[in-house]
Amino acid sequence: MSELRASLEKRSNNACELCGSSVDLSIYEVPPHSKGTVNDSVFVCQVCSEQINQNSELDKNHWHCLNESMWSEHDAVKVVSWRMLNRLKTEVWAQDLLEMIYLDDESLKWAAATGENLSEDEKIIHKDSNGVRLENGDNVVLIKDLNVKGGGFTAKRGTAVRRITLDPENATYIEGKVEGQRIVILTQYVKKT
């Protein structure tokens, strides 16, 4: 068992930190700046994980649990709670909770980095060279040799860039590690894998 999992199990009393379920638990690294530490990860059940990652339809009734998790002492849990409440902000109860939740400035910036609080026409959408939508944590492949300014090397076509981070202010920029260096890449030169 990984050290991270063991720490999260202990912190959460082996239960989902959002809804309290003790079934099918896994680690959710909170984007966009997750480094796989206890401070930027949340222990979640499969139901919460699938809905957070938008792999299944949002069950509004399931998320009434945020009434408790939003008061967590752990910033990562509060950030995920805030994001989910923003997805549900058409619900009166979610609006009420959004007015009550408290995040310090740094946590609020982290929470807002994925644009959950923006309407669809306000969101900055990143797309690869084929027009496929990119998300934080996606893997991409370079479709062209790129000279890395300041890096002293050329990132070759076909190079895989794992766990990208999206620039929240510019739809044409993503970040990722190539040859151990974190670089900025234009979305027009990548293809989602």
Q: Which SS3 state, helix, strand or coil, does residue 44 take?
A: strand
CA–CA gap between residue 58 and residue 175 (Å, rounded): 29
Asked if residue 21 lies in contact with residue 65, where contact means CB atoms within 8 angstroms, the answer is no
CA–CA gap between residue 160 and residue 176 (Å, rounded): 10
Asked if residue 140 lies in contact with residue 173, where contact means CB atoms within 8 angstroms, the answer is no
Whether residues 83 and 172 fall in one domain: no
Whether residues 7 and 90 fall in one domain: yes
CA–CA gap between residue 79 and residue 39 (Å, rounded): 11
Whether residues 177 and 98 fall in one domain: no
pTM comes to 0.64
CA–CA gap between residue 192 and residue 48 (Å, rounded): 25
**Residues, the chain:** 193
Domain residue limits at 72: 3-112
Whether residues 65 and 104 fall in one domain: yes
Positive or negative torsion for Cα 121, 127, 130, 136: negative
Structural domain count of the chain: 2
Asked if residue 189 lies in contact with residue 158, where contact means CB atoms within 8 angstroms, the answer is no
Instruction: Tell me, rounded to whole angstroms, the distance of Cα 73 from its chain centroid.
Output: 19
Q: What is the pLDDT along the chain (193 residues), one digit of tens a residue?
A: 589 999 999 999 999 999 999 999 999 999 887 788 999 999 999 999 999 988 778 899 999 999 999 999 999 999 999 999 999 988 999 999 999 999 999 999 998 887 665 555 556 788 999 999 898 888 999 999 998 888 888 999 999 999 898 887 788 999 998 888 889 999 999 999 9
Whether residues 156 and 80 fall in one domain: no
